Amino acid sequence: MFCGEPKHEVSLAIFLMGTSLALFTTPKESIDSRPGVPTRLDWHITIAAVWMMTGLFIDAHQHLFETIDTFLNPWHVTLYSGAIAAAVILMLEIRRNQKLGRTFRAAIPLGYTQSVVGAACLILGGALDAVWHSVFGFEHQLDLLLSPPHLVLLTGLFFLVTGPVRSGLARPNAANLVDELPMLVSLGVAFEVVQFVTQFGFYPEALLRDHPLSQQQFIHQQFVLSVMLFYKQSTEILTVIWQSAVLAAATIYMCSRKQLHPGALIVLCVAEKCWIGGELSTDAGEFVLILLASIVAGAAGDAIVAKYRPSVVRACALRWFGGVVPATYLAAYFLFAFPMFGGTWWDASFTFGCIALAGIAGVCVAQLFIAGYQSRPGAA
């Protein structure tokens, strides 16, 4: 995960998969009596999503920091084995339903129609990727985000892994946090896909060690350094806005549709940040910083959900929720940066202004959800 040490991501995947498998082995008759219980297919696809995401981000890490010159490498095998497993599991479930006399379309489990299309795109993208590498070679740095086969792969991956989300939203509210896990983890993975494509806008580079060259130290390069500082700060502002919008969208989407249990938003925030954070972290401490900020943001969201029950109907509470979660994430990032990295090179105005900007971005996302609801016929 960190600078050529992908074994950490493998450990994370094994932990998440082990947890899911332990839950999956719960006897069916002991869970069917609970409302909103996830299906076995939900668990299977969630496990496959975790496995695919691990392969994807280790592969991206290797493209960024190492040289890859063969298609048959462990990370591609990890990604594509997960994709094949997900596709086979889904097809077996459909085949089982067809044996009951249903048509192919009717045999697709509830919430998984788009996942079938996603699985097909994923397999097609994998085949195109092999051809692309044989013709044009292997991508490095940001080129890997723009490769057409990769875009087909990622589109398919997004629709495939959101099956448990659609399945969960179609059921009554779950009885406990465990039953919400497939829906939460899968939604987090889906937003990881979005962040994979836009990973150039993930880290704000605000730590003290990220300080640009000093204009006072290089007095003969004042103009060049001023231009570099301008573009660096501009990029960091855009990163704050984008990351805040993504985090707000993921959390608002879920809390506006489901009555969540305590801890649900911590799970979602961590799932939405951990893989991309692991890929781009330069050391373990930077990754831990991302996780800590995610946990604090999720806890703040859980607290607001418990007290105010935000929804598109309770618009003020949803705006409050949308602003607090991303602002808390960025504030926690800076708070933990002081003991862990000696602080930030940003001055007070830039730091607190960006925290406020994160909150404003979240409120704007919440307003989009509210406006969408209010535009429906018959909405209050």
Residue 236 confidence class, pLDDT cut points 50, 70, 90 = very high
Buried b (16+ CB within 10 A) or exposed e, 22-32: ebbeeeeeeee
pLDDT per position as a tens digit, 1-38: 444 444 444 454 444 444 444 444 444 433 455 678 99
Residue 66: its pLDDT value, please?
Answer: 61
d(CA 265, CA 297): 8
d(CA 247, CA 268): 9
Taken in order 31, 37, 38, 39, the sign of the CA dihedral is positive
pLDDT per position as a tens digit, 164-208: 999 999 999 999 999 999 999 999 999 999 999 999 899 999 999
CA 226 to chain CA mean position, Å: 35
Q: Are 105 and 91 in contact (CB under 8 A)?
A: no
d(CA 4, CA 325): 32
Buried b (16+ CB within 10 A) or exposed e, 297-326: bbbbbbebbeeeebbbeebebbbbbbbbbb
Across 79-83, 230-234, 309-313, least confident range: 79-83
- Other C-beta atoms within 10 Å of 136: how many? 11
Residue 75: its pLDDT value, please?
Answer: 64
What does the pLDDT average to over 83-94?
90
What residues form DSSP beta bridges with 344?
207
Q: Are 21 and 73 in contact (CB under 8 A)?
A: no
Collapse the DSSP code of 344 into the 3-class scheme (helix H, G, I; strand E, B; otherwise coil) and give the result: strand
d(CA 301, CA 342): 28
**Nearest C-alpha neighbor of 236 from the set 335, 366, 333:** 333
- Other C-beta atoms within 10 Å of 223: how many? 9
d(CA 285, CA 246): 23
Q: Are 225 and 215 in contact (CB under 8 A)?
A: yes
| Residue with the two structure tokens 């589109």 | 155
Q: What percent of the chain has pLDDT over 70?
A: 83
Rg (CA), the chain: 22
Buried b (16+ CB within 10 A) or exposed e, 85-99: bbbebbeebbeebee
d(CA 61, CA 57): 6
Half-sphere exposure of 313 (CA within 13 A, CB side): 6
d(CA 39, CA 59): 30
- Predicted TM-score (pTM) of the model is 0.86
Q: Are 63 and 140 in contact (CB under 8 A)?
A: yes
pLDDT per position as a tens digit, 143-171: 778 888 889 989 999 999 999 999 999 99
What residues form DSSP beta bridges with 207?
344
Collapse the DSSP code of 26 into the 3-class scheme (helix H, G, I; strand E, B; otherwise coil) and give the result: coil
What does the pLDDT average to over 127-139?
80
Identity of the amino acid at 252: I
d(CA 234, CA 337): 21
